[in-house]
Chain A
Amino acid sequence: MLHAYAQAFALVFDPYVLTVILCSALFGLFVGCVPGLTATMATALLVPITFFMPPVPAIAAIVTATAMAIFSGDIPGALLRIPGTPASAAYTDEAYAMTKKGQAEIALGAGLVFSAIGGLFGTAVMITSAPALAEIALKFSDFEYFWMVVLGLAGAVFIGNSSILKASMSLLLGLLIACVGLDNPAGHPRFTFGNAELTGGISLIPMMVGMFAVSEILRFVVHMDPPLKLATEKIGNVFKGMWALLVKYPWPLLRGSALGTVIGIQPGSGADMAAWMSYAMAKKFSKEPEKFGTGHVEGIVEAGAANNSALAGAWIPALVFAIPGDSITAIAIGVLYLKGLNPGPTLFINNPQNIYAIFLVFILANLIMLPLGWLTIKAAKNVLRLPRNILMPTILLFCIVGSFAINNTVFGVLLTLVFGVLAFVLEENGFPVAPAILGVVLGQMMEENFIKSMIKSDGDVTAFVTRPIAMWLAIFTFVILFWPVGTWLWRRTRSAY
């Protein structure tokens, strides 16, 4: 193991990799800071470039850029009352209220310092739990994998979505999209309409670029909001008073980091949900809940830590089971496959140095967040003044090149357009997009394990629940699936009496 760590050090502390980390950090900070550009979009835009890199720098770029973007989303939240990324939305009003009170540096400082601590917490959990989970995962057969996928998908639909019905439909749509092409256990071309490009299936990257970048651009060009206005120009020393906050709020910090990691691990729910839930939790457990909403830093400490720890948590199921914890890791899994680093327990045995390198990158990214984040806050005034009507068309051109670059065909651009418009329409009508992405990423794995299990058991469905781990996973899945139905029935019977 020590040998593998030494190799991992050599992989990460290579001038090329360090340069990639630095550049993607700056890119992530910039993307997070500009309202309307999300961390997922940063990932989608990075992928076409990481496509041309060796595996470790490719993953390092994604890890660093997203960690930075989630923090720097706090900056426009505090200064403009517009969250830079959805993960900052939970406490944007709070941070803005602090700015109005002349405490912009405390709001931003808390965002920065506690983001880094939360990120390191999530990383620590990942380092300790992922290899142990991989040991367990080695014992899994097709039946267990099938249930793991179902469990992940059920969680994605049932946790935190306002309309479970629409989330389910979005997921099923994703699973159908995954069926397109020749790549199925029978090798039969499905839903290709005789189109040669479609026999290869729908490429994940152009689809992601469409759903997360083009749809945001469309939302920008039809937005009717008034122009942005900075609440303050003066920001003092952001690190001042942070130690006092750390001493004053150790429990909210720990609670936020822990909850964030757990939400991250749960497939389909990422940093934004972690922030919302831990902000609510901070208010619930606070000694002074009446201060929340008036410019009180406690919620920012807890939720700021939560959204960054969720980011690390999401990588745990992604690396161990190839089940993404959020939409960012859904894209990252695509990159891992492209690089031949197929995620799963065997990765921990055959290429441990790559896994350790990912751990190291996480630590490094959360450490350099402090100086670079400080610089970004200093430069925030200028970044926020950057005209978005120049930025967005340029990003559209990047989307075109990026979706072309994966297969070098213009069909990718067409996919980007179709999925961009589809995501735009679906979101306008209250369908969440994340379950669809999860469906596309996991569809093939789910079908493969389903068909293999059916063939192994000769069509006998009971075989899905006779192995012990499979049985527990099945029970767990059904509890999640029938939880909402159960509570609904419970409420009805209670109100009837």
Chain B
Amino acid sequence: MKFNDALLGAVFLALSIAVLVTVQGYPRIPGQSIGPGAFPGLIAILLAGCSIALVWRGWRERASQPLVAIGAWLGSLPHVRNFLVATGSLVFYVLASDKLGFLICGGVILLSLFLTLRVRPRLAIPLAVALPILIHLIFYKMLRVPLPWGVLPVLW
């Protein structure tokens, strides 16, 4: 998805203004003329300058560059679905991993991605069961990463 430079510049400009406003409230280091707001403030001013230049450039080219150019993949339903499933599976993990545990979440994520990417179900299902177990063994047993068990009892 390609946005016009003017639009992107505006987003960056908003960000730098927000930073500038926020750092106004920061205290100074006692006895010094400088404080925690100085460095981010300086960066935000530079970023605002660049953003204005980008807005200007985008505005000049607005005739040839549409405000939002839909990339080829956004016009194709399967690709949009792939994108949503991939990002959605990370969201799902963030929300559900504590409750359901790594093994279940990992299996669900793999199975849904395999199926959306058109892996044959006969291959997808055994892989979606086996791979999370393998990764869990490596990280939980060997590297001692406390991956959550969730609803399952502690098996190993």
Contact = CB atoms under 8 A, between A and B. Distances in A.
Interface of A: 49, 51-52, 165-166, 168-169, 172-173, 175-176, 179, 184-188, 190-191, 214, 217-218, 221-224, 387, 389-390, 392-394, 396-398, 400-401, 404-405, 408, 410, 413-414, 416-417, 420-421, 425, 428-429, 446-447, 450-451, 454-455, 459
Contact of A425 (B1, B22, B117, B147): B1
B86 to A, nearest CB: 5
A176 B23 CA distance: 12
Most chain B C-beta atoms within 10 Å of own C-beta, residue among A176, A396, A401, A410: A401
B90 A221 contact: no
B110 A393 contact: yes
B93 interface: yes
Contact of A396 (B39, B50, B86, B119): B86
B153 interface: no
A166 B54 contact: yes
A227 B73 CA distance: 16
B50 A224 contact: no
B47 A169 contact: yes
B145 A400 contact: no
Contacts of B34: 451, 454-455, 459
Contact of A172 (B22, B43, B93, B131): B43
A191 B16 CA distance: 12
Contacts of B57: 165
B83 interface: yes
Contacts of B144: 52
Contact of A397 (B23, B54, B79, B132): B132
Contact of A413 (B94, B117, B123): B94
Interface in B22-37: 22-23, 26-27, 29, 32-36
B82 A397 contact: no
In the complex, the 4 A-B pairs of residues with the closest C-beta atoms, listed nearest first: A393-B113, A389-B117, A221-B82, A186-B36
A221 B79 contact: yes
A417 B36 contact: no
A393 B109 contact: yes
A401 B109 CA distance: 13
B73 A447 contact: no
A410 B98 contact: yes
Given A51-B143, A450-B39, 18 more contacts: A52-B143, A169-B12, A172-B43, A176-B19, A179-B39, A186-B35, A190-B40, A218-B83, A221-B82, A389-B117, A390-B114, A397-B131, A397-B132, A397-B135, A398-B135, A404-B147, A413-B90, A417-B94
Contact of A401 (B2, B43, B72, B145): B145
B8 interface: yes
Contacts of A224: 72-73, 76, 79
A410 B2 contact: no
Given A190-B40, A393-B117, A404-B145, A416 B19 contact: no
Nearest to B116: A221
A405 B143 contact: yes
Nearest to B96: A410
A71 to B, nearest CB: 27
Given A393-B113, A393-B117, A425-B1, A190 B86 contact: no
Given A175-B43, A221-B82, A450-B39, A405 B139 contact: yes
A415 to B, nearest CB: 10
B22 A191 contact: yes
B90 A401 contact: no
A172 B144 CA distance: 37
Given A214-B90, A221-B83, A190 B26 contact: yes
B54 A451 contact: no
Nearest to B131: A394
Interface centre among B27, B35, B36, B76 (most CB of A within 10 A): B36
Contacts of B73: 222-224
Nearest to A455: B32
Of B1, B43, B147, chain A has the most CB atoms within 10 Å of the CB of B43
Nearest to A184: B36
Nearest to A444: B39
Nearest to B26: A188
A420 B89 CA distance: 13
Interface string B29-72: 10011111011100110110011011001000000000000011
